[in-house]
Structure 1
Amino acid sequence: MDNRKGRGRFIFFCLAPAVILFIIFLIIPTIDVFRMSLYKWGGYTDHKTFVGLQNFTKLFQSEKFYQTFQNSVLLIVVVSIVTFAFALLFASMLSREKLIGQNFFRIIFYIPNILSIVVISAIFSAIYDPNNGLLNAFLNLFRSASSDPILWLGDQKIVIYSLCGAMVWQAIGYYMVMYMASMANIPESLYESAELEGASRRHQFFAITIPLIWTNIRTTLTFFIISTINMSFLFVMAMTGGGPDGATEVFLSYMYKEAYTNSSYGYGMAIGVVVFLFSFALAAVLNAVTRREHLEY
């Protein structure tokens, strides 16, 4: 009995600091966001006016909000699909194919993940520069000298896809390494048996590799899609500031500007509540859609 009590106290004192910090820095601020979304407040004065759901009514009547919603969803879909497609492809190539300098390629692919968002944004801003950028210089090899330069960060139709390029480049290496770790645990005998049956490499990839690392894919996909909401804010603020004309405005950049630039703190918190609920719902739907029977080997 004494041993059980002593063990219980030990577990309590080990968990208590983490639980207290979790409550102070996550639970309480989250509740406060919900509370402040019901007030009209500039954020810098003591004067607050309770307005109920008025901020949400204003939000759902705002065309700008629907533009930011569209931009955010576009980034989530495009960046997620492209990132995971290339991460799985490169992980499979570096895990199964006998390539010269495999370790070198692993390091090169992982380097973008250790760079700060500001550094990556500066690199891609230079690449996208309409006059001296590397991308336009390359394309000019195949275009007429009199052609106007492409405004990668200034054209409303393509600027969002320019952001996608930077975000994909930043994320591929991290997820590639995670998938390589999972693929390394798949017995080689499974692939040898498949080859004896006449299965191609492509068929082996979809019939053996993907099902056996599906748990890892499912976990990382949920994590990545939710983190894309945060990462898009950093890239937007560092590269475009939401422009041109709101073409790259996303959830959090819109919330930041309303709360801290336009002195509409309550309205900004209403945006934060919508983003929180959207993220929670998206994670729940994604977990339900990607649920599969667990495979063992």
Structure 2
Amino acid sequence: MQRTKGRGRFIVTCLAPAVILFLIFMIYPTIDVFRMSMYKWGGYTADKTFVGLQNFQTLFKSDKFYNSFQNTVLLIVLVTIVTFSLALIFAAILTREKIKGQNFFRIIFYIPNILSVVVISAIFSAIYRPEVGLLNSFLNLFRGEEIQWLGSSKVVMYSLVIAMIWQAIGYYMVMYMASMANVSESIYESASLEGAGKIKQFFSLTLPLVWTNIRTTLTFFIISTINMSFLFVKAMTQGNPNGSSHVFLSYMYLEAYTNSSYGYGMAIGSVVFIFSFALAGIINAVTKREEIEF
């Protein structure tokens, strides 16, 4: 009995600092965001006016908010699909095929992940420059028209998609290579004897056997894309042209800290939190599969 109590005190002592820090720096700020969304406040004065749900009513009537919502969903869908598809394909090729210099390719693919968003944004901003950028210089060999990659509302979001994909592929490729390397070669040999080709093996064996890892990283990646999109927009476009490239968090930042509508900005933050939480739950439910052991 005494040993059980002593063990309980030890566990509480070890967990208490982490729990306290979590409550102070995570739970309290989250609750405070919802509280401040009920006020009209500029953020720099002591004058606060309680307005209830007025900020949310204004928010859901705003075309700018819906534009930022559409841009966020576009990035989540396109970046996630392309990044995970390419990461899985590259991981399967480098794991299953006998290619010289596999470690070299791992390093090359992983390098973008260790670069800061600012550096990556600077690289792609230079590539996208209309007059002397690498992309237009190449396209000018086939057509004379210069494309405003970051200056046209029709293509600016797709330009951001390419940069975000380039930044993320290597990290997830390396993670999936580690998972695929743990799959026994005898399983693939048995499948080959049964007449299954490499493509069928990929979809029937590789994906199901590493699905737990895919599911975990998928949820993490989709939520992190919401945060990363803000960094890329802030570094590359600042919401231009004419606010057409704003995403959830860049629009929140604009309203809260540039337009001095802190309460309205916190209302946007509240919607982002609910959206992220709901999206994580949906992804977990949709991707739930019976775990396969090998």
Aligned partners of 1:27, 1:214: CA distance in 2, in Å?
A: 31
Aligned partners of 1:75, 1:26: CA distance in 2, in Å?
A: 26
Aligned partners of 2:240, 2:128: CA distance in 1, in Å?
A: 15
Q: Which of the residues 161, 186, 208 maps onto 2:158?
A: 161
Partner of 1:294: 291
Partner of 1:31: 31
Measure how far apart 1:100 and its partner are.
Answer: 1.3
Identity of aligned residues (%): 75
Aligned partners of 1:271, 1:291: CA distance in 2, in Å?
A: 30
Partner of 1:19: 19
Q: 1:46-57 to 2 correspondence within 5 Å?
A: 46-57=46-57
Partner of 1:95: 95
Aligned partners of 1:13, 1:87: CA distance in 2, in Å?
A: 42
1:173 aligns with 2:173: no
Amino acid at match of 1:156: S
Pairwise CA RMSD of aligned residues? Answer: 0.7
Amino acid at match of 1:268: G
Runs of 4+ displaced beyond 6 Å: none
Q: Which of the residues 256, 261, 265 maps onto 1:259?
A: 256
Unpaired segments ≥5 residues, structure 2 = none
1:191 aligns with 2:188: yes
Aligned partners of 1:193, 1:16: CA distance in 2, in Å?
A: 51
Aligned partners of 1:166, 1:247: CA distance in 2, in Å?
A: 18
Measure how far apart 1:222 and its partner are.
Answer: 0.5
- Give the alignment's TM-score, normalised by structure 2: 0.99
After superposition, what is the alpha-carbon deviation per residue over 1:22-66, rounded to whole angstroms, capped at 9, x for unaligned?
000000000000000000000001110000000000000001100
SS in 2 for 1:141: coil
Partner of 1:212: 209
Partner of 1:108: 108
Aligned partners of 2:115, 2:156: CA distance in 1, in Å?
A: 22
After superposition, what is the alpha-carbon deviation per residue over 1:135-165, rounded to whole angstroms, capped at 9, x for unaligned?
112222222xxx2211111111011000000
Aligned partners of 1:191, 1:248: CA distance in 2, in Å?
A: 46
Q: 1:258-277 to 2 correspondence within 5 Å?
A: 258-277=255-274
SS in 2 for 1:88: helix
Measure how far apart 1:278 and its partner are.
Answer: 0.3
Q: 1:220-239 to 2 correspondence within 5 Å?
A: 220-239=217-236
- Give the alignment's TM-score, normalised by structure 1: 0.98
Measure how far apart 1:291 and its partner are.
Answer: 0.7
Aligned partners of 1:139, 1:204: CA distance in 2, in Å?
A: 38
Measure how far apart 1:6 and its partner are.
Answer: 1.6
Aligned residues: 294
Aligned partners of 2:141, 2:194: CA distance in 1, in Å?
A: 47
Partner of 2:79: 79
1:63 aligns with 2:63: yes
